[in-house]
Structure 1
């Protein structure tokens, strides 16, 4: 898809994974798969279904059903805990609409590790210098937990990581234990805006509204959680020149602790946008 100076490439059959986002011919998305092989969510802007971030164990209970998770269904993180949803969630998708500036993919979903039948649809739209991604989940005959998210990997080509400027519109930091699982405590996030320098992040927050910003070299990447995303994970590791502003419908481990849900037959929609702004256009 192409609009103005922005071009986006998707892999619809793999969960509407955005593989590339180019502005004036320069790639703005990173690939960290060298550090985490065999992970389809390690590059671009992948969709994380049916949950984003970590789970604190291998079982959960929802709507009277207790689900036991098998390791072969999952991606495991450094503490051998489930991370970023199910392997089955990136298969079986179909294209439901395609044009020069809009692409829609979707699938019916139910699995032994998430036995809550639903239809999920992701719509990608380019307008001027903005990419908007909307995810809609329509429940079947029973309620469905709402814990999904996205994991955008952003970079600023030609600008050293230490010089990247961040704006983080967050309210509270979600406290975690030694395995990065939320403890239930929340504390004020404080002022985190400014140059990235040698700082690193792998932190969950509540969203305060307004744009997340990655700026440098005369370009700004602005990410706005427009609807349905009340939480964010900010990820900026030391091992890669990348910053992630991850929109999340629920905090980490929410699936195991009374997650939000969409009622049977109803639809829940979450939407975020990525806008590219040149300094000369401001």
Structure 2
């Protein structure tokens, strides 16, 4: 376990390298703002999402095991390390419990990286040579998470995301609201995959979390977009710093958590051949977000 600390803002962050570098705890003034789906020891043994996990190299689902990019075809059937949803679709990428990272850390910041081509299993499932680097940093403005991709000798498609599970300590679901920016709601089928309907404009608004279950995909995220989760005097401010195109909002009925998931591409974009960011050999791509707790009590 790696723990980062920023005494001035009374923040601590706990990361577990063996759990795909997932953050399992983010505490501000000794209050927990991340949700785990199960006790920590069980969470680390099993392949569930919770806390603040990276979804890489694809966020959310793929439409099938087979996909291609610039003439290179991949079939994920039977490959180890591919997490799947209840319908058997590849989901959440390849790194949920990946343990082989290179680390560098200070008191309030940490970087973790993977040289992709050093790992045969990863190259079989996503055959593009590149370096992945993540940086977590605590400061007076909150928690910043930055993901950087550097292409080596070939082009690399960009379709990753993050899946933070947020809780507001002491606030029941009925007291939580979400302040979302102006977006475009993407119509999803029963498997959670985009269908052929045009995205529906959705004006900026405040939504009550308890009004329904949420598993909604949105386009229209831009650099500097913000979303806020509020309850009583406490709020989590989510700032999309750079690099994001889409967001998934996830909160099952009666859940005490809500997920605001930044994504660099739409769900299933890698398998659908949708417009993707792509970096050429030697180029890099960066996506970052910042989380900040605001207490107005």
Q: TM-score, normalised by structure 1?
A: 0.92
- How many residues align structurally? 278
Runs of at least 5 residues in structure 2 that lack an aligned partner in the other structure: 118-122
- Quote the residue 2:120 is aligned against: none
Alignment partners' CA distance in 2, 1:135 and 1:30: 22
Alignment partners' CA distance in 2, 1:89 and 1:270: 22
Alignment partners' CA distance in 2, 1:273 and 1:88: 21
- Quote the residue 2:287 is aligned against: 270
SS in 2 for 1:100: coil
1:203 has 2:219 as partner: no
Counterpart among 229, 236, 243 of residue 214 in structure 1: 229
SS in 1 for 2:167: coil
Alignment partners' CA distance in 2, 1:121 and 1:89: 16
- Runs of 4+ residues over 4 Å off in structure 1: none
- Quote the residue 1:176 is aligned against: 188
SS in 2 for 1:123: strand
Deviations 1:84-140 (A, max 9, x none): 101587231110x21111111101114201010110000011111500000000011
Contact in 1 for aligned 2:47/2:97 (Cα 8 Å) = no
SS in 2 for 1:159: coil
Alignment partners' CA distance in 2, 1:249 and 1:175: 18
- Quote the residue 1:77 is aligned against: 85
Alignment partners' CA distance in 2, 1:176 and 1:2: 40
Q: Which stretch has the larger CA shift, 260-269 or 210-219?
A: 210-219
Deviations 1:131-162 (A, max 9, x none): 00000000111101100110000001111111
Alignment partners' CA distance in 1, 2:148 and 2:77: 27
Distance change >3 Å, CA 194–CA 183, structure 1 → 2? closer
Alignment partners' CA distance in 1, 2:166 and 2:211: 17
- Quote the residue 1:23 is aligned against: 28
Deviations 1:137-196 (A, max 9, x none): 001111011001100000011111111021112410111222111124311124551322
Q: TM-score, normalised by structure 2?
A: 0.87
Contact in 2 for aligned 1:213/1:222 (Cα 8 Å) = yes
> Higher strand fraction: Structure 1 or Structure 2?
1
- Quote the residue 1:52 is aligned against: 59
Cα RMSD after superposing both structures: 2.1
1:134 has 2:146 as partner: yes
Deviations 1:179-230 (A, max 9, x none): 1111243111245513222422101101255321111131110111110011
Alignment partners' CA distance in 1, 2:191 and 2:19: 29
